[in-house]
Amino acid sequence: MDLILQLLFTGIGIGAVYALVALGFVLIFRATNVVNFAQGEFSMVAAFVMVVLSVDLGWPYWVSFLLSLCAMALVGAVFNLGVYYPLRHRSFLPVIIATIGASIFLANSVLALYGPQPQVLQGWFDTPGIQLGPVYLDSQYLLIIAVTIVLVAFQYWFFEHTLLGKKLQATSQDKEMASLLGIPVSAMIMLTFVYSALLGGIAGILVAPILFVSIQMGATIALKAFAATIIGGFGDVAGAIIGGLALGVIETFGAAYVSVPYKDGFAFLVLVLFLIFRPQGLFGERVAEKA
Amino acid sequence: MKLTRRGFSGALAASLAAPAFISRAGAQGTTLKLGMCAPVTGPAAEQGRYAQTGAKIALDAVNKAGGVLGKQVELIIEDDQTTNPGIVLAFSKLAAQEDIVAFLGSIRSTQVHAMAPDVLKLGKPVMIGGTDPALTHMGNQWLFRFRPNDSYSGRVLADYGVNTLGKKKWAIVHSTDAFGTAGGKALTEALGKIGATVALDQGYANQSQDFTPVVLAVKQSGADILGSYFTFENDLGIFARQLRQLGVNVPYVGSPSIVNVSALKLAGPALYGTFGVADYAEDSSEAAKAYGKLYREAAKLPPDNQSAWTYDAITILCAAINKAGKTDPQAIREAILATKGHAGAEGTYNFDANGDGLHGYNVVKNDKGNILFDKHIDFND
C-alpha cells in the first residue's frame, strides 16, 4: 500500500506538469486550429530566464519569477507576430511546420546564448519535502499540483464568467462570426499566445528544480503533454488536465509493475490505443461530416 | 567560338581529372587534418565542449612542438548531435574529406557501435572513448580506445564494494543503452566470480524524468550496496536526489559518470559519500596533475574524463603519426599499437592487440563535493 501511495503521488506530480503544458496546447488549438509544437520550448526559455535572473544575477526568487513571466508574455506576443500572424490565412500545415521551426530556433538560440550546460534551479521552499507516514511528498511536486489546481480553476472562471473569456471562446469557435460581432480577432489570438506562453513558462519554472534546466527539457515535457492532449480530446481543457494526470500515473505504475525501460512506451501505447479506438479522446466530440 | 571534338575531349578529361588533382593538392597542403565527431548539440553538448577543450589543449601542445610530419595539425569538428544517426552523418561528412588522416569518435559506446561499420569500410584509425568491451573485440581493427573498458570497471567496482566496503548483496542500476547494458553485465559477472549476490538488476531508459519506481525497487530489494552505470549526468542527478529523498542510504559505488563535473554540480549533496571508478583522477599521477593544471587554466573548470581522453587521444595519435613517418592508415595503426608505457592524463597507456590502451581504473570518493583519489587498480589479463 505504501508503495502504491508513493507511486500515485509521484504520478500525479509528473502528470500535473504534463497537464500544465497540455493546457497551452489546447488554448492555442482552440483559438487557431493549429498545434503549437514550440509549447515545450516556452517552458525551457522561461526556466533559463529564471536561472539568469535568480542564479546568475542573484535577484530575489519572486522578482525573478515575475520578470520571467513578463519575458514569456513578450515571447508569446513575438511568437504570434512572427510565426502565426504571417501565416494566418494559410492551411494548418504551414503553421504547424512554422511552429516546429520556431521550436528549433528557440532551442538553438538558448544554446548559442547560454551554452549547453544543464543548470540547477533551487525549489520554492527550503524544505525539499515532507514525510507523511510512509509516503515522501516532494515539496516541489506539491507546489506543482497546487498551481495546476489554481490555474484550472482560474481558467474555468475566466472562460466561463468573464466577457474577455467569452470573446476568446467566440474567436476560437468561429473567427468570421466573432469579427462580425465586433470582437478584435487578432487581439484575441495575440492574447491566447501570450497566455499559452505564460502557462508554458510557469510549468517550466516549476519543473526546473526537479528535472534541471536544460535545452532538452522542453521537448521532453512537450512530447508527453501532446500525448495527454490527444488522450484528453484535442481542444478540451478538462480533457488536457485528465489526460495529463492519467498519463503521469499510467507511466509511473507501468514502470513500477511492468517494466522501467518501457516507461515511455506505456504513455505512447495508451496514445495509440486512443487513436485507434477513441480518436476524439476522452472529452472530445465525435466529428462527422454531413452528407 | 567553335567547339571542336578535340577541344571537347580535352575539357571533359580535365573536368574528370580535376577533383583528383584538387584532393591531392589538399592532401599535400600546409596542415595535417584530423576529424572529430563531438556532441555540439543534444543532451551531451556540455560534455562535448569539455571533449573539444581537451583535444584543443593537446593540439596546441603538438603544434607548439613543431606539429606532425613538419606540418601544423588542424582539427575539423562535426556535431554528432548526441544521437546515433547524428554521429553516422557527422562521420560520413568527415570521411568524405580525403585529406583527414585519422578521427576521434565518441565517448558513448552506443554511438561508436553506430559508426563502427562505416569506420571499417573507410579503413582509417578512429580514437574512441566508449567503454563497452565489445567495441574492440568485434573485428574492427580501426578502433583504438583511450579509456579502460567496462570489463575492468565492473571488476574494480565489485572488488571495492565486496573486499573494501564488505558488502555482498548488490542492487545494480544501469542504462539500457550499449554502455549501461555492457557495464551492468560486467559488474554482474565480476560479482559472481567473487561470491557476491545480485538482488536487483534494474535497467532504465536514458532521459527519464522520474526514477521513483527504480528507487523503490532498490529499496525493496534489501540490497546492502548499490552499483550503477549511468550514461547521462542529468539522469544521475535526478536519480541521486530521489534516492536520498526516498530514504535509500546504502553505500553507493558508480561508473565514471558519478564523479563527472556535471553530475557533481547537478546532484550536489545527494552524491556526497559515494564512491566511483574514475579513469581520470587528478591526484592519481604526475601526468594527471599536469593535465589538470592545463585544463583549469584553459577552461576555468575542474577537469574530468570527458576531456582527459581526447587530450590523450590527440597526443598519442600525433606521436604515432610522427613515429610512422607517413599518413598511411596501416602504418599509423601499427604505431598506435606499439605505444607502450606512455604516461597520459588517464593513466599509463600500453596498447594491446585489440586496441585497448588502458587496463585499470582509479577508485575515488566524493567527500562533500571534493573528489579524493583512493587507489589505482590495474589488471594484466
**H or E stretch including A131?**
strand A129-132
Any CB–CB contact under 8 A between B246 and chain A?
A: yes
**What pLDDT is stored for residue A111 in this prediction?**
87
Q: What confidence tier does B7 reach under pLDDT thresholds 50, 70, 90?
A: low
> What's the domain count of chain A?
1
For B335, the grid coordinates are: 604505431
Residues of A in contact with B40 (CB under 8 A): 116
Q: What confidence tier does B24 reach under pLDDT thresholds 50, 70, 90?
A: very low
Contact A77, A42 (CB under 8 A): no
Nearest chain B residue to A224 by CA distance is B209
Any CB–CB contact under 8 A between B299 and chain A?
A: no
In a domain, A284, yes or no: no
Any CB–CB contact under 8 A between B204 and chain A?
A: yes
Q: What confidence tier does B22 reach under pLDDT thresholds 50, 70, 90?
A: very low
Nearest chain B residue to A138 by CA distance is B245
Residues of A in contact with B205 (CB under 8 A): 260-264
CA distances for A276 relative to A243, A271, A281, A283, B5, angstroms = 16, 9, 10, 16, 66
Residues of B in contact with A256 (CB under 8 A): 212-213, 216-217
User: Model-level pTM?
Assistant: 0.79
In a domain, A269, yes or no: yes
Query: Testing the interface with B: which of A113, A214, A251 to mutate, by most B Cβ within 10 A?
Result: A214
In a domain, A287, yes or no: no
Residue B337 clears pLDDT 90, i.e. is over it: yes
User: In this complex, which of B204, B212, B238 lies closest to A6 when CB atoms are compared?
Assistant: B212
In a domain, A211, yes or no: yes
Q: What confidence tier does A30 reach under pLDDT thresholds 50, 70, 90?
A: confident
Counting residues of chain B whose pLDDT is more than 70, the rounded percentage is 92
In a domain, A268, yes or no: yes
Query: Testing the interface with B: which of A212, A217, A264 to mutate, by most B Cβ within 10 A?
Result: A212
User: In this complex, which of B176, B209, B220 lies closest to A261 when CB atoms are compared?
Assistant: B176
Kindly report, as residue ranges, where domains of CATH 3.40.50.2300 are found in chain B: 31-148+284-350, 150-278+363-378
Is the domain covering B31-148+284-350 a CATH 3.40.50.2300 domain?
yes
**What pLDDT is stored for residue B288 in this prediction?**
95
Residue A163 clears pLDDT 90, i.e. is over it: yes
CA–CA gap between residue A121 and residue A20 (Å, rounded): 19
Highest mean pLDDT among B42-51, B295-304, B330-339: B330-339
Domain span holding position A105:
2-277
Contact A50, A68 (CB under 8 A): yes
Q: What is the rounded (10 degree) CA torsion for A173, A176, A179, A183?
A: 10
Mean pLDDT across A175-181: 89
Domain of A267: which CATH number? 1.10.3470
Q: What confidence tier does B27 reach under pLDDT thresholds 50, 70, 90?
A: very low
Residue B274 clears pLDDT 90, i.e. is over it: yes
In tens, the pLDDT along A132-149 reads: 888 889 999 999 999 999
CA–CA gap between residue B124 and residue B257 (Å, rounded): 29
Is the domain covering B150-278+363-378 a CATH 3.40.50.2000 domain?
no
Residues of A in contact with B46 (CB under 8 A): 115-118
In tens, the pLDDT along B196-222 reads: 999 999 999 998 888 999 999 999 999
In a domain, A135, yes or no: yes
Mean pLDDT across B252-274: 91
Counting residues of chain B whose pLDDT is more than 90, the rounded percentage is 76
Count of all residues that appear for chain A in the document? 291
The secondary structure of residue A231, as a DSSP letter, is H
Q: What is the rounded (10 degree) CA torsion for A204, A209, A212, A217?
A: -20
Q: Which residue has the higher pLDDT, B244 or A264?
A: B244
Partnered with residue B202 across adjacent β-strands are: B173
**What pLDDT is stored for residue B169 in this prediction?**
97
In a domain, A18, yes or no: yes
Q: In this complex, do A115 and B209 lie within 8 Å of one another by their Cβ atoms?
A: no
In a domain, A288, yes or no: no
